[in-house]
Every structure is written in C-alpha cells, then in structure tokens.
Chain A
Amino acid sequence: MQLVLRIIRTSIGKKLLMAFTGLCFCCFLVIHLAGNLSVYGGADTFNSYVNHLHSLGVLVHIAELALLVLAIVHIVTGTVLFIENLRARPVRYSVTRRSGGRTWGSATMPYTGFLILVFLVCHISWFIYAGREYQTVYQILTGLFSNPVVILLYCAAVLVVALHISHGFWSLFQTFGLNHNAYMPAIRALGIIFAVIVAMGFGTIPLYLGL
C-alpha cells in the first residue's frame, strides 16, 4: 500500500493513473458503441439488447461499480494535475504561441473532461428517472430525441468526447512508454480514427431516431 501511495505521489505515477483509467474508458466506449448501434436494427433488436444486458444481473452492477471507481480516479487525478500545472507557472506569459506540438484536443483536455462529467451526470440521471416501468428504453430514446435541443446538446457532447479522445488515445501509449518512431504515427492516426468513429457512431443515433 505504501508503495502504491509513493508511486501515485510522483508525476509519472499520476500520469500512469490517467492513462490506465483512460484506456479502460476507451474499451468501455467500444462496448457501449457496439451495443448502441443495435438501435439500427429497430425497436425489437434494441430492446432485446437492453434486456440481455440487464439479465446479466449482478455482473452489470459490478461493471457499474468498476466504472464509477475508474471515473473517480480519473477525475480526482485530473483535477490534481490541472491545479498543479497551473501552479507550476505563477507568472503567465504575455505572448504565447504554439510550435506545432499542442493541438485543440491537448490544449482543452481539462475543460473537455469537465464537460464530459457534466454530460455523464445528465446522461445517467436521465435513464434513472426516465420511468422504465411503463416504457421501453427504445421509447425513452425516441421520446428524448424528438426534441431538437436534446439532439443538439447530445451531438455537442459526443464531439467533446471525440476531442478528448483525439489527444487521450495516443497520449496513453506515450505514457505507458510505448513510443517508437516506427509505429507512433500509426497510433496517432488510429487515435484520430477512433475519435471519428466515436463521434460518427454515437452522433448519428439521435439524428436517426429524431429526424
């Protein structure tokens, strides 16, 4: 335990925590997206997916708990890093320029992260309080996405997630020390492709249901 605390206190230790939890969320997004895409099979296919998922019973709760722990670690560590990094430069520059390293994704990581948290709270609470007793999840979805404002906000949130991934994906490889001149360009490209897939995959569902 002492060893773990000692590692977490270091800057690379915190970075590894961010990378590991980020990797878990990338895997979660793949599974979540694969499930959600069953919406294109129609109401029955989607409801059957939802029922199958819920029939896993205790396994679902274990997964939820694991995701919650991962989220708390990611958010707390990210917040600590954000504050520490602000404090590392008490006097700011009057002129700042980018030299080609920083991207929109990397520059906005703490902010997109916070927006994703806000989105997650809305997203989860909506399904808890939607009233699943008297309507199917498919009906909840179509009801929700009949409102253009909701579609717009959802798509915006998905784009924010994609922006977060565009830096986070390759960055976690670098953090784990998996950087090699031969395959790093491919990892960076894969990160962008993954971000686009997430944006397209999740982003088209409300458009398909609502329009």
Chain B
Amino acid sequence: MKSINLTLKVWRQERGSDKGRFETYDATGISTDMSFLEMLDVVNERLTLEGKEPIAFDHDCREGICGMCGAMVNGYAHGHESGTTLCQLHMRHFSDGDTIVIEPWRSRAFKVVKDLVVDRSAFDKIIQEGGYISVNTGGAPDGNTIPVPQDVAEKAMDAASCIGCGACVAACPNGSAMLFVGAKISQFALLPQGRPEAKDRVLAMLNMHDELGFGNCSNERECEARCPKNISIVNIARMNREFIKAALLSE
C-alpha cells in the first residue's frame, strides 16, 4: 500500500460572523487508496487527539450521489478530477509532498457556517419557487398513458442527475447558479407533466435566483467543466428558451 505525505492549507472559520484564516496542517502517511474525505478524517482524528478543533466539512453518502460534500481544492471545485464529487476524489491523484489549499464555496448566497461548511439553503428556496409539479389527489393514473420519447426521457434524466452540490456556483467566475436552475427547469420542461406550469416555473425560479444574490451567467462554461454530474450548459440554453417563451412570446 502506497502512502504519501501532504501539506494542507485549510480555511478555518469558527462561525459565519468570524473573519476566518488559513491554517497549515501536515497530513502524513496518507494511503493513496483513501478518498479525500477519508484523508480529512485522518487529519481530524489527529487534531482531536491533540486537543484541537477538527476541521468541519459537510458529507453524507460518500458515494457521490447525495450532493452534501464539496470544497475548493487547489482552486478546483470538488478537486481537479472531472465528473466527480469530493468524496469520490481519491488520494492517488495527488503526489507525495503536494501542498493542497482547501477553501469553502465562495458566494454571497452561500454563507460560511463553519470552516468548509456553507449554508446552501438558497438552493432550497429556488426549488420552493417551482422545482416541482403540482399533482391533485385522486386515483393513481395508469402507467405509460403519457407517451414520452426515449431520447427526451434521457435528456430529462441527465438534467435530473443534478445533486444540488453547489459546485457550479463555486466554479462560476460570476458566482451564478444558472447551471443548477437550468437543470432543475429542464428536467420538467422536457416532460409533458412539467409543461402546464412551465411558464410560471421559469419566471419564479429565475426571480428567486436573482433575489438571493447569485451572479449573472456570462457563458464562461466553468460550471459544466466542474459539475460532478457532467450537466451541460445546453440546459442553460433550454432555460433561456423557456424564459423567452414565458416572458416575451406569451401574451
């Protein structure tokens, strides 16, 4: 089993109102089979034994599907490997003696709670504005009564694979959440069940996005390059079409 020694520069911030600073830690004897979060676990274990406060970071499933984890690693959201969350980034992608700078997501809409933990409830607020379909109660409809072409279903599924981790906002030079909103609008816009509320959805979700203090998209494409689910900016274009239809073309 190969092991490496690293130097970590980690953003430490006691609470949101504090100023925050970088602290340097040695991560010695790290197995290259570990994930990035397991490496942090090892460092935290040692910090705890030394009587120091461990580094706070968000995580849950550690399988790359829940969207809880995420931090900027050397300037890359979720680290430099493409199409992966931080928990699925493995230490074999680092070399012995590397210095790793770890920062939380930076956005006006994502306030730092502690260290690397940020409050992403802004995403929940956007979802509450229209990231759903309204279904009245009653008898369950028969399956497959509404035909959906397979390729359309695939596109909707690609958009729906967004786990809401916030890497798009973190990676965007403008701090815009358009990839997130675009994906959430697309997954409904593509399917017949989503059409009845499509117009209200795009306007409401976009207004909330702007209100929360996210930046404006200027097509930098950094978001799709860093998205752990490889969601394409085609979804942003689709949202723009939905916006044009809803705001300009309907009476």
Q: Which residues of A contact B (CB under 8 A)?
A: 3, 6-7, 9-16, 81, 84-85, 87-102, 106-107, 109, 167, 170-171, 174-181
Interface string of B190-229 (1 = CB under 8 A from A): 0000000000000000110110011111111111111000
Contact pick for A181, options B171, B207, B218, B234, CB 8 Å: B234
A84: B residues at CB distance < 8 A: 215-216
Interface of B is mostly: mixed
Do B223 and A101 have beta carbons less than 8 Å apart?
yes
Extra A-B contacts (15), CB below 8 Å, given A11-B214, A176-B240, A179-B236? A3-B247, A6-B247, A9-B210, A11-B178, A13-B243, A84-B215, A87-B215, A88-B176, A88-B215, A89-B106, A89-B175, A93-B75, A102-B220, A179-B237, A180-B234
Contact pick for B174, options A10, A88, A96, A181, CB 8 Å: A88
Do A101 and B108 have beta carbons less than 8 Å apart?
no
Q: Place the interface of chain B in its size category.
A: 35 or more
17 pairs, A vs B, C-beta closer than 8 Å: A7-B248, A9-B210, A11-B214, A12-B240, A16-B244, A85-B173, A89-B108, A93-B72, A94-B101, A97-B75, A99-B222, A106-B218, A167-B219, A176-B244, A177-B237, A177-B238, A179-B234
CA distance A181 to B178 in the complex (A): 19
Chain B: which residue is nearest A7 at the CB level? Answer: B247
Do A88 and B220 have beta carbons less than 8 Å apart?
no
Q: Which of B95-129 contact A (CB under 8 A)?
A: 101, 103, 106-109
A89: B residues at CB distance < 8 A: 106-108, 174-175, 215
A106-B237 contact, Cβ under 8 Å, with A95-B72, A100-B225: no
CA distance A10 to B243 in the complex (A): 10
A101: B residues at CB distance < 8 A: 220-225
Chain A: which residue is nearest B213 at the CB level? Answer: A88
Chain B: which residue is nearest A168 at the CB level? Answer: B219
Q: Which of B54-89 contact A (CB under 8 A)?
A: 72, 74-76, 80, 82
A95: B residues at CB distance < 8 A: 72, 74-75, 101, 103
Rounded to whole Å, the gap between the CB of B112 and the closest CB of chain A is 8
CA distance A100 to B230 in the complex (A): 13
* B15 in contact (CB, < 8 A): no
B103: A residues at CB distance < 8 A: 93-95
B39: A residues at CB distance < 8 A: none
Rounded to whole Å, the gap between the CB of A48 and the closest CB of chain B is 42
